Structure formats: structure tokens, C-alpha cells
Amino acid sequence: MKKRQFTIKMKIITGFVSVIFMILVISVLAYFSMKGVITYQNDMIHKSVLANNIVRLVGQVPDAESKYILDQSPENKQVIDDMFIAIDENLAQIEAMITAESTIDSFDSASLMLESYSENNDKMFSYSNSSDMVTQQKLMKRYAGLVQ
């Protein structure tokens, strides 16, 4: 058997092609790794925006309740109901994005707190006496502080 002898030119070309191939493989791996990181960061940013919307809405509810206590019109009640609908929509969007078990547990805790907040809000509407409403509204302000 005759061994094939590579010329210097062939050795240089083979080395150059192998280096280019390795750079290509590393570049493709880096691209897909960065794409995964960017997707994860986009999800985190979206969840943070939704959570901040919830905090903002929870902070606005006590003021809307004060307006309702002073003027118990259906429009003022609808404003509060719309806030709670928006809170529920934001919660549903966050829940759809959650995958990790530890995050699910934290989400469930926050969700239960917001559910209790909503129930206390409904309780305020059940009162006919303004002083009872004010007492319940003070409690709602404390809940809002806990959520924030």
C-alpha cells in the first residue's frame, strides 16, 4: 500500500477549512444559545410588566372606592369592577406563561391574596351604611399595601 503524501498546499487548505468549520459550528451554537436567553428575558419582561400593571391597579382601587363611597353611582362601581377585570386578565396571562414549579407556588400565593382582596371589595359593596363602607375601605387600603 502506498501512503498518500499531502503537499504543503493541501495541508494548509485542510487546516484552514477545518478551522472555518469549527468557527461555523461554534457560531451556530452561540446563536441558538443567545436566542434562548433572549426569549427567556422577553418572557420575564412581559411577566414583570403584567405584574406591575396588577400592582398599579391594586393601588388605584382604594381611590376608586373612596369616590364610590362619596357617590354611589353605577358608573363609579363599574370603574372598580373594570379594575378587577383587568387584574384578573393580567393574572390569567401570567399564569399561562408560568412553567417552573417554584414559580407556580409563588403565583398561587399571590393569586389567593388577590382573590381575598376581591372578596373584601365585594363585601364593601354589600354594605348600605357609609360608615361600614369606610371601615371596609380602610381594610382594603391595608390589603393594597400588602399586595404592593
Q: Return the C-alpha cell found at 23.
A: 468557527
Provide the mean pLDDT of the chain. 89
Q: Return the C-alpha cell found at 141.
A: 387600603
Among 1, 20, 2, residue whose Cα is nearest residue 12: 20
pLDDT of residue 31: 96
pLDDT of residue 2: 60
Q: How many CB atoms lie within 10 A of CB 102?
A: 8
Q: How many CB atoms lie within 10 A of CB 21?
A: 10
pLDDT of residue 138: 85
- Hey, which of 19-28, 89-98, 110-119 has the most confident mean pLDDT? 19-28
Write the DSSP symbol of residue 3. P
For residues 12-37, give the mean pLDDT: 96
Which of 110 and 26 is assigned the larger pLDDT? 26
* Confidence class for position 90, pLDDT limits 50, 70, 90: very high
Residue type, 27: S
Alpha helices in 2-100 (DSSP H): 8-70, 74-97
pLDDT of residue 120: 85
Q: Return the C-alpha cell found at 97.
A: 406563561
Which of 15 and 104 is assigned the larger pLDDT? 15
